[in-house]
Chain A
Amino acid sequence: MSTTKTIDVSPETGEPGRARPGPFRAKRPPGRTWRQALRRDWQLYSLAILPLLFFLVFRYLPMIGNVIAFRKFEPGGSVLGEEWVGLRYVRMFLNDPSFWKVFWNTVIIGGLTLLFCFPTPIVLALLINELRGRRIKRFVQSVSYLPHFLSMVVVAGLVMEMLSVDGPINQLLRAVGHDPIAFLQEPGWFRTIYVSSEVWQTVGWGTIIYLAALTTIDEQLYEAARIDGAGRWRQIWHVTLPGIRPTAITLLILNIGTFMAVGFEKILLLYNPLTYPTADVISTYLYRMGIVSNSFSYAAAIGLFEAVIGLALVMGANLISRRTVGTSLW
């Protein structure tokens, strides 16, 4: 199922600039051939050349570069590898216990992230929506967006300072008579730290879309609910939540699609050998295997596996949502 979608948009299906209609399903206005389209719109097509070149070189070439997952690659040798080795590297990581360790770490961290980072913006948006007074509303919103604009390095730095032995959290622990905890050195704390900092960073920005969706709900629906005797809670349940459901489902699909690609940059900045048992995920593992240890083919095989799962997840979620609730991304 995932392959059919790929074919529609893969670069091999035909350059739009060429004179022949490609095998893709473009709706052809009656009597318009490629020759006519080119004569009429060549200036428009010319504007697309550089961007297309960009996509080809920096997006589609790396996809093709994934063949090294099935070919032996040597640094300094050919970019596309030396010789075919079939599924050797795939078998290698499937039999690698460390791979399964990081696989499950990824699933757990991804799952927790989804569990906390998906619903919190909805709740926060509903709370902000109940605020009276434009000024105060806007203030709360502006403050809550702020972390979204920080560099990941700064976020990691803030997390480290908050959790350092002399930082505020440990000051609190000491105040209640507890020994200080070296949070970032303990595997047991990593997931909590990761997920809570993720919520801190993303919750405010996530509310924007819901707040926009809330303003589009017809005021008459609330009116009708009130006439039917619905209180505040019933109004939220029967009018507000159904009103933002399409938005929520769209975002859920997108979140599920990025499920496996859990925050690589943040984990790379926050983890250390002591916390590998809980913190190491597929992307950080393949980074160490590939870039640090030069096992490019092995790491590429793992990366391809991750990307394919990601694509399958988003398409699966999309399909389910189209069948069940009629909302889909495409």
Chain B
Amino acid sequence: MVTDKTRGYQVFRVINTIILTLVVIVTLYPFANIVARSLSDEFAIRAGKVNLLPVGFTLRTYEYVASDPTFWMNYRNTVVYTVVATAIAMFMTTCYAYVLSKKHLKGRKFLIGIAVFTMFFSGGLIPNYILISSLGFKDSIWAIVLPNAISVFNLLVMKAFFEGLPAELEEAAAIDGMSTYGILIRIVLPLSKAVLATMVLFYAVSFWNSWFAAFLYMSQNDLFPVTVYLRNLIAGATTGTSVGADATDMTVATNIKSVTMVLTVIPILVVYPFVQRYFVKGVMLGAVKG
């Protein structure tokens, strides 16, 4: 490739490297900053000395947060909500995606349309709120795990995957007299481990991160997920600032905020390097049919 050796291109490559290095730094900087804050002495933070490295290293804030029973209770809630919601979502999505992947099925277009239409038009916040309230889901796990049991995007990804599976195996099993349920469980699902793993990850991350449903429908401390715990901390901290609360309290809140954020993000950061390629695959699958 002759053109690659031109001077202009060499200059471009240097600039490109610089830009992408900056992108990496800007992306990671806020994380480094909160980790440094979470490990720093409150006076150093208040003096504006903490940037990328902890100043006045201390683990006291971690001890403080870890000794709060509400924090652990809420953390446990997050785990429970995520597991239950993901299980339900996987069941519902798998069933429907499998049905939609059968091209011979009468009424298939209509069934797809029902799902896809909801991507572009939704009932909106108020009718949803009234619905969930009148179903008696307030202050219960159902308000979190049921209303988002099917993500249409995930549904289409899975459908595309099922459509790509070879039909012969299923046909042979059907000739042997296996029922549709049997085919789904014993033939299709074992062939779909990759997409199932991706879907579990998609759902688990979105439920782990969700906060608004819990914020909206739950009124008791002991039912909150950890994201709402964190939300109340940061909301409290800002109102504290605007009212002009006592400076020491404020910094303690800042400290605690950082620690809570680090603890909320850690599970995701730990699994992230191992699982991110599955996410990418999932998105690409979805892009095929989009």
Complex-state Cα separation, A67 to B227, whole angstroms: 33
Q: Which chain B residues border A22 with CB–CB below 8 Å?
A: 107, 110
> Which residues 269-328 in A have Cβ within 8 Å of B in the complex?
269, 272, 274, 283, 286-287, 290-291, 296, 299-300, 303-304, 306-307, 310-311, 314-315
Contact A208 B280 (CB under 8 A): yes
**From residue 103 to 158 of chain B, which have CB atoms closer than 8 A to chain A?**
104-111, 113-118, 120-131, 134, 146-147, 149-150
B55 → chain A, closest Cβ, in Å?
11
**CB 8 Å contact bits of A27-44 with B (1 = contact, 0 = none):** 111001010010001011
Query: Using an 8 Å CB-CB cutoff, how does the interface string of A107-122 with B read, 1 for contact, 0 for none?
Result: 0000000000000000
Q: Is B231 an interface residue (CB 8 A)?
A: yes
Contact of B283 among A37, A52, A127, A209 (CB under 8 A): A209
A188 close to B (CB within 8 Å): no
| Contact call A226/B257, Cβ cutoff below 8 A | no
A8 to B179, CA, bound (A): 32
Q: Does A187 contact B (CB under 8 A)?
A: no
The answer to whether A51 and B92 touch across the interface, beta carbons within 8 angstroms, is: yes
Q: How large is the interface on B (under 10, 10 to 19, 20 to 34, 35 or more residues)?
A: 35 or more
In the complex, what's the smallest C-beta–C-beta distance from A43 to chain B, in angstroms?
4
Let me know if A90 is at the binding interface, CB within 8 A: no
B57, CB-defined interface residue at 8 Å: no
Report if B290 contacts A (CB, 8 A).
yes
Give the distance in Å from the alpha carbon of A160 to the alpha carbon of B237 in the complex: 10
Q: Using Cβ atoms and an 8 Å threshold, which residues of chain A touch B258?
A: 161
A149 touches B110 (CB 8 A): no
With contacts A152-B209, A168-B51, A184-B238 taken as known, whether A58 is within 8 angstroms of B147 at the C-beta atoms is yes
CB of B245 within 8 A of chain A? no
Query: Looking at B26, B114, B128, which has the most chain A CB atoms within 10 Å of its CB?
Result: B114
Q: Are A68 and B127 in contact (CB under 8 A)?
A: yes
User: Is the pair A54, B113 in contact by a Cβ cutoff of 8 Å?
Assistant: no
A139–B25 Cα gap in the complex (Å)?
A: 12
Task: Decide if A50 is an interface residue (CB 8 Å cutoff).
Answer: yes
B264 at the interface (CB under 8 A from A): yes
B106 touches A274 (CB 8 A): no
8 nearest A-B pairs in the assembled complex, by CB-CB distance: A62-B123, A65-B127, A16-B107, A9-B113, A151-B209, A303-B124, A43-B180, A51-B96
Can you report 15 residue pairs joining A to B where beta carbons are below 8 Å apart? A11-B114, A13-B110, A27-B109, A45-B99, A62-B123, A65-B127, A130-B13, A154-B230, A164-B254, A185-B241, A231-B8, A272-B238, A272-B242, A283-B125, A303-B127
Interface residues of A (CB under 8 A from B): 6, 8-11, 13-14, 16, 22, 24-29, 32, 34, 37, 41, 43-45, 47-48, 50-52, 54-55, 57-66, 68, 73, 79, 124, 127-128, 130-131, 139-140, 142-147, 149-154, 156-158, 160-162, 164-168, 170-171, 174, 182, 184-185, 200, 204-205, 208-209, 212, 226, 231-232, 235, 247, 250, 257, 265, 268-269, 272, 274, 283, 286-287, 290-291, 296, 299-300, 303-304, 306-307, 310-311, 314-315, 329-330
